[in-house]
Amino acid sequence: MPQQRFTDQVAFVTGAGGGIGRTTALAFAAEGARVVAVDRHADAAAGTARMVTAAGGDALAVTCDVTDEDQVRAALAATTAAFGRLDVAFNNAGVDQSRTTLEELTAEEWARLIAVDLTGVYHCIKHQVPLLRAAGGGAIVSTSSGAGVIGIAGQAGYAAAKWGVIGLTKSVALEVAGDGIRVNAVCPGVIDTPMMGRAFGEGRQGQDAAAAQSPLQRPGRPEEIASAVLWLCSADAAFTVGTALVVDGGQTVG
């Protein structure tokens, strides 16, 4: 029998329509959580919710653009209307940057990166905290990146947003720890998702280029990030506050 660390809890997952978000939503459901699958693409959110229910779980699909604070507020209101509470949240919605120098990076792309990857996390945490406080505590994990702990040429906008997520995480963690709310971040390295294909190219050549980024000589799997997120949200991590957990196969060690 799989471990059931989230029985009767409600998990809110953004960017749940695919990749790390979908995998993590399914992992929460497999451990007993009722899952709110949030994505800006309605069909993607609904697809994840169907996968949860097909496996015997309970899910709600919500369409939400995290750059719009009103939509985030409405998504969380839908969560409490459906399930009565919020216990854990994984703020994972994000976009990647085309590989361009800062001089080539347009103001429009900079604004898009900050709006989704940083301001979207701000919107989510801001409106999750009161619900977790009302529930007597809980956990929030947001997706930063290996790019949130090192510099990467050609990724200045993305890295700036992801470094910002860590600063936001650490600061809010100090503000709400006394309420029994633990706020942490996860920092994935190169993970085998569609984003990896965009960054390194499709096919064998792209796979080899991605694998070369890690001392393990392979990209990570979405399930390996989901495992880290569930641990951070669980009682097993009860003494873990304000951390940025790097899960990158050693990519940023050197």
Residue-range domains of the chain with CATH: 10-247 (3.40.50.720)
Contacts of 57 (CB under 8 A, 6+ apart): 29, 30, 33, 34, 35
E strand map for 108-241: 138-143, 181-188
- In tens, the pLDDT along 143-156 reads 999 999 999 999 99
Contact status, residue 66 vs residue 123, Cβ threshold 8 Å: yes
- Catalytic: 122? no
Q: Which of 158, 182, 183, 233 is catalytic?
A: 158
pTM beyond 0.75, yes or no = yes
CA distance 117 to 182: 20
- In tens, the pLDDT along 187-243 reads 998 887 776 666 666 767 767 776 777 787 887 899 999 999 999 999 999 999 999
CA distance 182 to 201: 37
CA distance 16 to 10: 14
pLDDT value of residue 1: 43
* pLDDT tens across the length of the chain (254 residues): 457 999 999 999 999 999 999 999 999 999 999 999 999 999 999 999 999 999 999 999 999 999 999 999 999 999 999 999 999 999 999 999 999 999 999 999 999 999 999 999 999 999 999 999 999 999 999 999 999 999 999 999 999 999 999 999 999 999 999 999 999 999 998 887 776 666 666 767 767 776 777 787 887 899 999 999 999 999 999 999 999 999 998 888 86
